A = this chain, B = another copy of it.
């Protein structure tokens, strides 16, 4: 059972039952054979963006934020995806083109979307290509530079004039 799987199960549990504490979650997971401690579950809840609200019955209940939360882990996640999947990052005026291995473009694009990187109007992804549109104010060059840094490209091997 990996972290993603555990977090997915936690999401399901929070959406289907009233759970008040991390300790309860630990017990529920344990009951279905998933072992994790309170510390781990608490960290999961943070990453998932959970909040504790008082529901209609006046009971405190853990819920997941419906609107995407920009936890500190999100930009970290983007950095990791860029490092792992971005093969090239190239620039044409205000457009940055990122190439990935086949089928991997969406993963990176999702991470980009969620990260709410500054000065990005939006991005679209094909199978192995992502088009990122920089805002006029930001400009493509600055954005490309940031994305290249995330991907772990040193400035020395920047392609010139392509």
Contacts and interface: CB of A to CB of B under 8 A. Distances in A.
Contacts of A85: 4
A131 to B, nearest CB: 15
A156 interface: yes
A101 interface: yes
Interface residues of A, number: 31
B154 A1 contact: yes
B87 A32 contact: no
A101 B111 CA distance: 11
A151 B5 contact: yes
Given A2-B151, A8-B87, A106-B127, 12 more contacts: A1-B153, A2-B84, A4-B85, A5-B86, A5-B151, A5-B152, A5-B153, A8-B99, A33-B157, A103-B109, A104-B106, A106-B106
